[in-house]
Chain A
């Protein structure tokens, strides 16, 4: 991979294109997951503190990894802004993944509220990474509101169903002049690879790893798939024939006649 192929988010440079989630698995696995994923960004959630828990997740995250708090639990822009401010006050930088959900069955992001929260938080100096339903008009509004990236879902969060929204993610990649980071629903390395081949800037995955048989091994598999997809994208894919066939071998010098 060329050294100059950096992922740039809000002026910060990253070599890794794999954003790792930290939910639904043991804190003790985080270090191995980060290492095997090659991840430089890890997501976190903000919740009411528990005085009984002596262990804090921050103690398990290797130094130098950028923290990306999300606003999960927020049902509207106001709640997302509160959570983002609390996350920043926790003292680990100014990145935030805005995540606003009104419905609890499908956990679909509310694009309108997300646009509002993006604008408020961008004005307060946050590096805002909005999680969204892949809609070009909403994405354009998020760009205008000051988003640093756009994070469209591939399929319902936690479903591991893969690129159900492929056509619409492709439109965002083609039309939006910010990194498009595919977030939610990617269940297999092959799906991550395909999203990268389309031109996604990065992949965010959590459940695919947390529900895998061997978490660090799956982290490594995702890393390789993402790197493969990136290289394929940078290379440019080979063409597809609409019909017929085309031999790879010379059409002369046959051993006959």
Chain B
């Protein structure tokens, strides 16, 4: 299992691109961090998620 934004998800074995395609995230409006390191957009298609990975998917919101 992969922990995405704190929630266990069955995404091990998928690339980041494949995982995002199963969700409603707008890939133009998000940034992805895997185990504390940025996954650059150019790496989405070749980064394969593994069991126990921690993924953070973030976007901008209003703030001061």
Contacts and interface: CB of A to CB of B under 8 A. Distances in A.
Contacts of B30: 49, 90
Interface residues of A, number: 37
A44 B62 CA distance: 5
Interface stretch (A81-89, A169-177, A195-203, A235-243): A81-89
Interface in A1-17: none
Interface residues of B, number: 24
A100 to B, nearest CB: 14
Contacts of A72: 63-64
Contacts of A85: 33, 38
Interface in A82-138: 82, 85-87, 89-90, 92
A58 B64 CA distance: 15
Interface string A12-33: 0000000001111101001000
B37 to A, nearest CB: 9
Which label, helix, strand, loop or mixed, suits the secondary structure of the A interface?
mixed
B29 A90 contact: yes
A155 interface: no
A51 interface: yes
Interface in A31-63: 43-52, 56-58
A149 interface: no
Given A82-B33, A82-B36, 13 more contacts: A21-B64, A23-B63, A30-B62, A44-B60, A46-B31, A48-B56, A49-B57, A49-B58, A56-B29, A57-B60, A69-B60, A69-B63, A86-B58
